[in-house]
Amino acid sequence: MEKYLSQLNDAQLAPTTHVDGPLMVIAGAGSGKTRVLTFRIAYLMSKGIDPFNILALTFTNKAAKEMKARIAQIVGESEAKNLWMGTFHSVFAKILRIESDRLGYPSNFTIYDTQDSERLIASVIKEMNLDKDVYKTKQIRSRISSFKNSLITVRAYFNNPELVEADAMAKRPKMGEVYKNYVDRCFKAGAMDFDDLLLKTNELLTRFPDVLAKYQDRFRYILVDEYQDTNHSQYLIVRALADRFHNICVVGDDAQSIYAFRGANINNILNFQRDYSDAELYRLEQNYRSTKTIVNAANSIISHNKSKIDKVVWTANDSGNKIKVNRSLTDGDEGRFVASTIFEMKMNEQRNNKDFAILYRTNAQSRALEDALRKRDIPYRIYGGLSFYQRKEIKDLLSYLRLIINPADEEALKRVINFPARGIGQTTIDRLIIAANQQNKTIFEVLTGSNLTEIGLNAGTKAKLNDFVIMIQSFQVMNQTADAFELAEHVAKTSGVIREFKKDATPEGVARVENLEELLNGIRDFVEGQKEIADTTGSLAEFLEDVALATDLDQEDTNDDRVALMTIHLAKGLEFPYVFIVGLEEDLFPSAMSMNTRAELEEERRLFYVALTRAEVQAYLTYTLSRYRWGKLIDAEPSRFIEEIDQQYLDIITPIQEQRFNPMLSADIFGDVEPDVVRFKKPQVRKKEPAPPKFVAPKNLKPISKASSESGTTNLFDNKLIEGNIVSHLRFGKGKVLSIEGKGTDTKAEINFEHGGVKKLLLKFAKLDIIG
Ligand SMILES: Nc1ncnc2c1ncn2[C@@H]1O[C@H](COP(=O)(O)OP(=O)(O)OP(=O)(O)O)[C@@H](O)[C@H]1O
Ligand SMILES: [Mg+2]
């Protein structure tokens, strides 16, 4: 039997080695569902199934990457890279590009992010002369999003009197027209929003039976992780694709369904056996992640939910410490408690920053925590929130790049036509939009093909517009030969974007310029990465796709040593030795907005279950007696969830801060929390199975030959790089050379990197330092 299969228990082995026919694994947190999915893919490949025929859908791109790296370790990189693996959005964006002409879209369609969609909606509302206090952009966008996720097209909307009436009742009688205009404008701009990526895939598969047949034939084996959180649109796609071979494997946990508010439908689990009458159902019961205390406490919490599939979760791990519950006076105190506990644990237990996660219900809670971590010099990273790519300066430059690839992209054009200011006013832009609407053209087409005098523009304005068009066209010409980095750098300079931000000498302005430089670095990295990796091509279009589909968890390199801060929603599927769940107060968690019905409250409880089950060794629950919310200090009450946990698993910490509370001391590094509150015994957790053979660089290795100059490319193919060398790479970190093949400028090395797994690099491009 394959060696890796010995890393599974019998219950896990059964679904892993189930090859043909539908199967579903329903099991509690930490029981190895994701592991089963990963190993099953390796197993299918070992049975001769072509990786091109396997489609695996994950919750984040990061999860897909990790899964692929794990599979590569088992079956080899060259095989693993042919798997179709990623989020629903990224996989189907790829397919939509291939099939775009069927739907009348260009293959270089832009993907609008939430911000682009909101801007377009705001623009439509303004053009329609509607009251923006009634037609609120965010509300309209989320309504359109839910239409799309329920596959309610514009036509279906108008054919549905209930929907029309509901909007009339809500004093938004023009909702349907706003929806229609928004959809038309996206289409004309050659743009899809996130929800379109699913909606259009459904349209593609229903309207074109030959396309459906093609992908049914391609994806003979389909696997879906976190199945409990698929929405209706995703469900239909999966069902259509699996309809021919029925080789569909879904894994999930109804107790972790936390996206109902975004349309996730728990019935997808319940209906699985109805859809596939021969479906095999597997259950896993043993949790490998957490201590007995955590597993039992989580079980006691979820037992309060009425609607659930009953299941057993137990663990052979040690009991571990009780869950610590800490009360603070204010959110500032809560932050200080968390920071000093982490500080102490690092000192006493030699823990790393990345062993800790702080989970909260809402992004707004991060500020107090950040302040406290900063005071203790504890490095942290916030996931979610405004991502790098949504910052103003970044979007400005990206909009130029988008326009090069897709000149129809209306949002990109509106963003940069007068940025940096070149004397093209709002009236001119409004006239252009009207002309484009009347002539059924894109704005760029109006600019290049129309008689601009006819639409009332004077000679001066026309000259300015002409300069703009010529600039964009010159970029397009350059795009045919230059790589994405050369082009982006040229655009940043020529367009004046960098110059504009450099004028601003405030710290904010300086930070913006740094961010732009960071973006350019990122593009350079991307281009070099593409050049290095054999058999791939890199282009500006590919870079933009990467950016558009980056999810909140995918940002930057996540391997460095930092405390993780994120909302519980984002933490799904992850695990950390130490987990703080903060802000456990009524109206915050459970959220005040989710307590109207039992169903909503049960979803909050599942969210709490997800949070608690992220912890491997120790969980902390914290709440405060007062908290700043909506700009004022309000009294808070402990969350009902704390009471609902079987109390034998809790250790209520004496709230020493109250006795010692003295704001003057709060900056004192040891002054705010009594040390013995946080000096815990060494947790006795059963050592888990040996970690997969991940490369770990030997400690204290000093570079012995610095092969690369600061900026130059290393010519390592004529250096004597040999198998077994330890090398260091800018992006992938340290790695070990597994093998070398080819000669001269074609020399390639297969390297197992700390960050990024096994990669095959062309040495003439690879920037490597030999360090051992
Ligand atoms: N048979 C096993 N032996 C040892 N460790 C295991 C085994 N099965 C799973 N694990 C480990 O237990 C942890 C939880 O596994 P995994 O993440 O696959 O669970 P899951 O069911 O997907 O959890 P979640 O519901 O949170 O997504 C991981 O660290 C995994 O490596
Ligand atoms: Mg999982």
Interface pTM (ipTM) of the complex? Answer: 0.99
| 299 SS3 class | helix
Q: Which CATH superfamily is domain 1-99+197-284 in?
A: P-loop containing nucleotide triphosphate hydrolases (3.40.50.300)
Q: Is pLDDT at 657 greater than 90 in this prediction?
A: no
Record the tokens describing residue 220, joined without a space. Answer: 């003979």
Measured distance CA(758)–CA(563) in Å, rounded? 26
Contact 300, 55 (CB under 8 A): no
Q: Which atom of ligand 1 is nearest to the CA of 29?
A: 25
> Sorting pLDDT into bands at 50, 70 and 90, what band is 708?
very low
Beta-bridged to residue 224, according to DSSP, are 57, 250
Max CA separation in the chain (angstroms): 81
Q: Which of 4, 5, 24, 34 gets mutated to test ligand 1 (max ligand atoms within 8 A of its CB)?
A: 34
In the set 174, 375, 572, 614, the catalytic residue is 614
Residue nearest to atom 4 of ligand 1 (CA): 689
pLDDT tens digit string along 399-437?
999 999 999 999 999 999 999 999 999 999 999 999 999
Run of H or E residues at 75: helix 61-75
Which of 390-399, 487-496, 603-612, 630-639 shows the lowest per-residue confidence on average (mean pLDDT)? 630-639
Half-sphere exposure in the Cβ direction for 35 (13 Å, CA): 22
Please, what is the end-to-end C-alpha distance for the chain in angstroms? 36
Q: What local confidence, expressed as pLDDT, does residue 553 receive?
A: 63
Closest CA to 64 of 98, 32, 27, 89: 89
> Sorting pLDDT into bands at 50, 70 and 90, what band is 705?
very low
Fold of the 388-549 domain: PCRA; domain 4 (1.10.486)
Beta-bridged to residue 753, according to DSSP, are 735, 757
In the set 12, 16, 230, 256, the catalytic residue is 256
Residue 33 designated active-site: yes
Q: Which atom of ligand 1 is nearest to the CA of 226?
A: 27
Q: Is pLDDT at 673 greater than 50 in this prediction?
A: no
Ligand 1 lining (C-beta closer than 6 Å): 7-9, 12, 27, 29-35, 253, 256, 288-289, 573, 575, 613, 688-689
Closest CA to 42 of 84, 82, 4: 4
Q: Is pLDDT at 534 greater than 70 in this prediction?
A: no
> Sorting pLDDT into bands at 50, 70 and 90, what band is 681?
very low
Contact 35, 67 (CB under 8 A): no
SS3 content of the chain, % helix, strand, coil (to 5): 50, 15, 35
pLDDT tens digit string along 87-134?
999 999 999 999 999 999 999 999 999 999 999 999 999 999 999 999
Which ligand has the nearest atom to the CA of 256? 1
Residue 225 designated active-site: yes
Contact 368, 334 (CB under 8 A): yes
- 498 versus 560: the higher-pLDDT residue is 498
Annotated binding site for ATP, which residues? 27-34
Instruction: Give the C-alpha distances (Å, rounded to integers) separating 227 from 253, 255, 438.
Output: 8, 12, 45
> Sorting pLDDT into bands at 50, 70 and 90, what band is 318?
very high
Q: What local confidence, expressed as pLDDT, does residue 765 receive?
A: 64
Measured distance CA(164)–CA(171) in Å, rounded? 11
Measured distance CA(502)–CA(518) in Å, rounded? 15
> Sorting pLDDT into bands at 50, 70 and 90, what band is 386?
low
Strand-strand pairing, 191-193 and 221-224: unpaired
pLDDT tens digit string along 13-61?
999 999 999 999 999 999 999 999 999 999 999 999 999 999 999 988 8
Which ligand has the nearest atom to the CA of 257? 1
Q: Is domain 110-189 annotated with CATH 3.30.300?
A: no
Residue nearest to atom 16 of ligand 1 (CA): 32
133: phi then psi, degrees, rounded to nearest 5: -80, -20
Residue 614 designated active-site: yes
Residue nearest to atom 29 of ligand 1 (CA): 289
Same CATH topology for 1-99+197-284 and 314-386+559-652? yes
Q: Is pLDDT at 697 greater than 50 in this prediction?
A: no
Beta-bridged to residue 264, according to DSSP, are 231
Q: With both helix axes pointing from N to C terminus, report the angle between 484-494 and 540-549 in degrees, rounded to the nearest 10.
A: 80
Residue 256 designated active-site: yes
Q: Which residues of 479-515 are buried (b: 16+ CB within 10 A; e: fewer)?
A: beeebbbbbbeebbeebbbbebbeeeeeeeeeebbeb
State which of 201-210, 457-466, 497-506 shows the largest mean pLDDT: 201-210
Which ligand has the nearest atom to the CA of 571? 1
In the set 193, 226, 355, 616, the catalytic residue is 226
Which of 603-607, 744-748, 758-762 shows the lowest per-residue confidence on average (mean pLDDT)? 744-748
Q: What local confidence, expressed as pLDDT, does residue 566 receive?
A: 94
Alpha helices in 382-483 (DSSP H): 392-405, 410-416, 426-439, 443-449, 459-479
Q: Which atom of ligand 1 is nearest to the CA of 610?
A: 26
Residue 139 designated active-site: no
Q: Is pLDDT at 203 greater than 70 in this prediction?
A: yes
Domain boundaries 314-386+559-652, CATH class = alpha beta
Measured distance CA(238)–CA(459) in Å, rounded? 56
Contact 416, 404 (CB under 8 A): no
Q: Which amino acid is at 297?
A: A
Q: Which of 289, 309, 553, 610 gets mutated to test ligand 1 (max ligand atoms within 8 A of its CB)?
A: 289
| 264 SS3 class | strand
In the set 33, 572, 605, 640, the catalytic residue is 33
Q: Which atom of ligand 1 is nearest to the CA of 689?
A: 4
- 703 versus 234: the higher-pLDDT residue is 234
DSSP 8-state class, residue 315:
-
Record the tokens describing residue 153, joined without a space. Answer: 């097209």
Average per-residue pLDDT for the chain: 86
List the domain boundaries for the chain: 1-99+197-284, 110-189, 314-386+559-652, 388-549, 725-770
Q: Which amino acid is at 134?
A: V
Q: Which amino acid is at 397?
A: L
Q: Is pLDDT at 703 greater than 50 in this prediction?
A: no
Q: Quote the ligand 2 centre to 35 CA distance (angstroms).
A: 7
